[in-house]
Amino acid sequence: MLKKRPIYVTHGGELMLKVENLHVEVENREILRGVDLEIKPGEFHVVMGPNGSGKSTLALTIAGHPKYRVTGGRILFNGENINELSPDERAKQGILLAFQVPPEVEGVKIIEFLQQVLVELKGIDPVEAYDLIVKKAEELWFREEDLHRYVNVGFSGGERKRLELLQAVLVEPKLLILDEPDSGVDVDSLSVISRKIEELHKKGTAILLITHYGRILEHIDNQDIKTHVMKDGRIVKTGGGELIEKIDKEGFAEIFEEVGE
Amino acid sequence: MTETITIKDAKAIIENQIEELAKRNREPEWMTRIRYKALKAFEKAPHRDPVISEEELLQFIAKPEVEGVPEHIESLDDLPPEMKALLDRLGISEVEQKYIAGLAVQTDTGVIYNEFLKEWAKKGLIVLPTEEAVRRYPDLVREHFLRLFRVDESKLTAYHTAVWNGGIFLYVKEGLKVPFPLHLFFLIQESALAQAPHIIIIAEKNTEFHLIEGCTAPILLKHSLHLDMTEAYFHENAKGQLTVLQNWPEYVHTRPMTRAKIGKGARFINTTVTLGSGKSNIGDPRYWVDENGYVELNGILLGQKDFYVDLGGRMYLQGKGASGINASKAVIMDESTVITRGIIQAEAEKTKGHISCDALLLSDKATMETYPGLISKVDDAQLSHEAAIGKIREEELFYLMSRGLDEEKATQLIVKGFLEPMLRDIPMEFLVEIRKIIELAVSGGM
């Protein structure tokens, strides 16, 4: 029998995630070329940057995608080097990645999948999990009968992203990495996703959000936000929430010029 | 060293067995004559099995039982410990375990005589061991016995016909709709005889039924060759389902022979779930489909160890508007080989046929081949096929693992999901077991 056990350890004001001089290769091509990033528990970080600058690579590497090979530097989570950990071990440490394009999993019903996720990550038994899932699903506009569909199969962009958020809401990870939760999403879905991100943030989940637009942040207090701008596999500028407005208005060109890139 | 068995030796052995069966079954003469006719055909009939040589077949006839399998199983405690452990892990009830061990069937044919079925017998549902049906309904059996096969098609058909024993006779009276699935086991464990059950299904006009045969757990067989023959007759608008569940021990060769005649507007869904790691399984069922009739052949297969599986399936769409689907989903592991070669032949106007073959390869040493055959003898038939053979997608595996499922659990989930859409007609109690067996197979624990 599975025992309930606390999975997450809190570390006060210490660093939760520390990415040190991270170099990553995909299929023998270097994508990240020395990324440094520090996130404390409960913080809200936004990563912006042009296509191909390495944002998704950073997200997938932290989550442990086997195709993304760390060739230099390290990733520390709560002080532990997680470079060698498998994706499930990282999830158990409290890292959750909401995918940019979550894949279809044929034949696997959402409800059964989520029940198993809650068993694995929170030690909640499947019967108890069922009610919790149905309740939370409703908040993300999934009816009970929707939960008997197969995971992401035939889903619209908005449905896929809402299902990613549902998982985040159920798991309440220590660190939630959101890879463009606003891309390919209808306006109404965007609003519910944005509110759920805010809710999780308020409950203490640290957020690392990758986006192209500030719109998703309409519910988040600007003062709380740390913004990083990526270019060619590096973070070239870090600032507060005001950076997002600046990029929304002027694009990246001026920032890159300022930092001499 | 095994001594050489000649055709003559084999014929003498078969003849003895025919005499024994005729006596034991108090068989009418016409049945014994059919057996002798088959014996005569045995010598000249061709043998074209790709796995079992003629020599091996003759050896088998001389000595059908496998060495090392416990001779007398009187209680579950007599089962080999590894099998007992597996049954426990699968969480199979003791009653069912007994069937699996071959205990209940031999000593307790009561399974098909229970009160429940007695009530239905009054309404016109006959379920009997085939031997008994031969005695009690001779005309009905005679009219349908070996009408869809010829004894001299092959040595295996001839041998089966000569020594058939066991099996089920199912008759559904006109208009009768049986609302519950009939679940039957029929294992005969007499070592001296070949395991060759003969199944006859007769569904009269406007009937409905669902017959489930076999079980999902591995069966302790004393024979290394299993030769079953099924003949099904669907009259006008009969709707029937035959679900075959099998999980063979790794030393067993199976040669299922299934044929069905599907009448006007009749529907036949023939699903086979093969979960084991047998030695080989070669089947080529045939279906003749009349006007607006429909046949669906579903194959669900978990290929393990060095299991060699060759699945055919020929559908002759003979009446206007007849249609057929031959679909298979295979999970191929270890060093197993799976070949599918369905054929659909359109012989009448407005007929439709579709062949689909999906395979998930879990090992580099496993092999999958598919050869769909579509033959049209008319202008306006719609025939199509599709095939997809692939491995588990890295993205899917990573997605599930990033949700805290380790590689084994994520793989189990993907494999179960892959087979799931084809298991929709399987009753829940079997589904639970099937899923557990898949999980165990994926973790290499079978």
For the stretch B217-271, pLDDT in tens is 676 677 789 899 999 999 999 999 999 988 888 888 999 999 999 999 999 999 9
Q: Is the pLDDT of residue A49 over 50?
A: yes
**What does the pLDDT read at residue B89?**
67
pTM as predicted: 0.88
Least confident of A235-239, B119-123, B229-233, B426-430: B426-430
Which residues in chain A have their CB less than 8 angstroms from residue B414's CB?
105, 108
Helix (H) or strand (E) holding B19: helix B7-24
| Of residues B395, B401, B413, nearest to A108 (C-beta) | B413
Which residues in chain A have their CB less than 8 angstroms from residue B393's CB?
103
Of B176, B193, B77, nearest in space to B131 by CA:
B193
**What does the pLDDT read at residue B169?**
92
Domain extents in chain A: 17-101+174-258
Average pLDDT of span A158-168: 97
Q: Are B301 and B330 in contact (CB under 8 A)?
A: yes
A121/B404 touch (CB, cutoff 8 Å), yes or no: yes
pLDDT higher at B67 or B353: B353
SS3 at position B240:
strand
Q: Residue B260 — φ and ψ, nearest 5°? A: -145, 145
Distant-in-sequence, close-in-space partners of B387: CB < 8 Å, separation ≥ 6: B356, B357, B358, B370, B372
Of B290, B306, B285, B404, nearest in space to B347 by CA:
B290
Which residues in chain A have their CB less than 8 angstroms from residue B400's CB?
105, 113
Which residues in chain A have their CB less than 8 angstroms from residue B417's CB?
105-108, 150
Query: In a mutagenesis test of the A interface, which of B393, B397, B402 is the best target, namely the one with the most A β-carbons within 10 Å?
Result: B402
Q: Is A133 on the interface with B (CB under 8 A)?
A: no
B399/A103 touch (CB, cutoff 8 Å), yes or no: yes
| Of residues B405, B419, B420, nearest to A116 (C-beta) | B405
Query: In a mutagenesis test of the A interface, which of B399, B406, B419, B434 is the best target, namely the one with the most A β-carbons within 10 Å?
Result: B399
Percent of chain B whose pLDDT exceeds 70: 87
Least confident of A120-129, B184-193, B214-223, B247-256: B184-193
Q: Is A106 on the interface with B (CB under 8 A)?
A: yes
| Of residues A66, A90, A107, nearest to B421 (C-beta) | A107
Q: Where are the alpha helices (DSSP H) in B45-178?
A: 54-62, 81-90, 94-100, 103-107, 115-123, 130-136, 138-144, 155-163
CA-derived radius of gyration, chain A = 18
| Of residues A66, A92, A102, nearest to B404 (C-beta) | A92
**What does the pLDDT read at residue A261?**
74
Which residues in chain B have their CB less than 8 angstroms from residue A107's CB?
416-421
Q: Where are the alpha helices (DSSP H) in A69-186?
A: 87-93, 110-122, 126-139, 157-171
Query: In terms of CA atoms, which chain A residue is nearest residue B392?
Result: A105
SS3 at position A121:
helix
How far is residue B208's CA from residue B124's CA, in Å, rounded to a whole number? 12
| Of residues B402, B407, B417, nearest to A105 (C-beta) | B417
pLDDT higher at B74 or B225: B225
Q: Is the pLDDT of residue B439 over 80?
A: yes
Query: In a mutagenesis test of the A interface, which of B329, B398, B412, B439 is the best target, namely the one with the most A β-carbons within 10 Å?
Result: B398
The DSSP code sequence of B406-419 is -HHHHHHHHHHHHH
- For A17-101+174-258, CATH gives 3.40.50.300
Query: In terms of CA atoms, which chain B residue is nearest residue A116?
Result: B405
Q: Is A91 on the interface with B (CB under 8 A)?
A: yes
The DSSP code sequence of B83-111 is HHHHHHHHT--HHHHHHHTTHHHHH-GGG
Conformation bin of residue A91: beta by default, left when phi > 0, alpha when psi is -120 to 50 = alpha
Query: In a mutagenesis test of the B interface, which of A116, A169, A178 is the best target, namely the one with the most B β-carbons within 10 Å?
Result: A116
Q: Residue A184 — φ and ψ, nearest 5°? A: 65, 30
Which residues in chain B have their CB less than 8 angstroms from residue A167's CB?
403
How far is residue B322's CA from residue B289's CA, in Å, rounded to a whole number? 6
Q: Which ipTM was obtained for this model? A: 0.94
Q: Are B25 and B135 in contact (CB under 8 A)?
A: yes
Q: Which of residues 182-201 of A touch B (CB under 8 A)?
A: none
Q: Is the pLDDT of residue B277 over 60?
A: yes
How far is residue A120's CA from residue A108's CA, in Å, rounded to a whole number? 16
Minimal Cα–Cα distance from B355 to chain A, Å? 20
Of B366, B376, B311, B317, nearest in space to B341 by CA:
B311
A116/B414 touch (CB, cutoff 8 Å), yes or no: no
Q: Are B362 and B442 in contact (CB under 8 A)?
A: yes
Q: Which of residues 38-77 of A touch B (CB under 8 A)?
A: 63-67
Strands (E), B132-279: 168-172, 182-184, 198-203, 208-214, 225-226, 229-234, 239-246, 253-254, 257-262, 267-274
Query: In a mutagenesis test of the B interface, which of A8, A99, A105, A113 is the best target, namely the one with the most B β-carbons within 10 Å?
Result: A105
Q: Is the pLDDT of residue A9 over 70?
A: no
Q: Are B329 and B422 in contact (CB under 8 A)?
A: yes
B398/A65 touch (CB, cutoff 8 Å), yes or no: yes
Query: In terms of CA atoms, which chain B residue is nearest residue A93?
Result: B404
Q: Are A5 and A123 in contact (CB under 8 A)?
A: yes
Query: In terms of CA atoms, which chain A residue is nearest residue B401?
Result: A88
How far is residue B92's CA from residue B217's CA, in Å, rounded to a whole number? 8
* Confidence at B83, pLDDT banded by 50, 70, 90: low
Cβ-based interface (< 8 Å): residues of B facing A: 393-396, 398-407, 409-410, 413-414, 416-421
Cβ neighbours of B16 (radius 10 Å): 12
Distant-in-sequence, close-in-space partners of A143: CB < 8 Å, separation ≥ 6: A137
For the stretch B337-379, pLDDT in tens is 999 999 999 999 999 999 999 999 999 999 999 999 999 999 9
Instruction: Share the mean pLDDT of chain A.
Output: 92
Burial A66-91 (b: 16+ CB within 10 A, else e): eebebeebebbbbeeebeebbbbebb
Which residues in chain A have their CB less than 8 angstroms from residue B402's CB?
63-64, 87-88, 90-91, 96-97
Minimal Cα–Cα distance from B403 to chain A, Å? 6
Residue A69 β-bridge partners: A25
Query: In terms of CA atoms, which chain B residue is nearest residue A88?
Result: B404
Minimal Cα–Cα distance from B412 to chain A, Å? 11
Minimal Cα–Cα distance from B277 to chain A, Å? 24
* Confidence at B71, pLDDT banded by 50, 70, 90: low
Residue B229 β-bridge partners: B198, B257
**What does the pLDDT read at residue B370?**
94
Residue A178 β-bridge partners: A98, A209
Minimal Cα–Cα distance from A248 to chain B, Å? 31
How far is residue B81's CA from residue B215's CA, in Å, rounded to a whole number? 20
Burial A182-221 (b: 16+ CB within 10 A, else e): bbebeeebbebbbebbbebbeeebbbbbbbbebebbeebe
Average pLDDT of span B390-397: 95
* Confidence at A2, pLDDT banded by 50, 70, 90: very low
| Of residues B401, B406, B417, nearest to A108 (C-beta) | B417
**What does the pLDDT read at residue A61?**
98
Average pLDDT of span B56-62: 93
Least confident of A76-80, B110-114, B246-250, B288-292: B110-114
Which residues in chain B have their CB less than 8 angstroms from residue A56's CB?
none
Distant-in-sequence, close-in-space partners of B89: CB < 8 Å, separation ≥ 6: B436, B440, B445
A103/B393 touch (CB, cutoff 8 Å), yes or no: yes
**What does the pLDDT read at residue B99?**
56
pLDDT higher at A172 or B245: A172
Pairing of strands A68-77, A17-26: antiparallel
Q: Which tokens belong to B338?
A: 């799976």
Average pLDDT of span A59-65: 98
**What does the pLDDT read at residue B109?**
37
**What does the pLDDT read at residue B3?**
75
Instruction: Share the mean pLDDT of chain B.
Output: 88
Burial A107-139 (b: 16+ CB within 10 A, else e): bbbbbbbbbbbbbbbbebeeeebbebbeebbee
For the stretch B86-133, pLDDT in tens is 667 666 666 566 555 544 443 333 344 456 677 888 999 998 889 989
SS3 at position B171:
strand
Q: How many CA atoms lie within 13 A of B76 on its CB side?
A: 16
Query: In terms of CA atoms, which chain B residue is nearest residue A89?
Result: B404
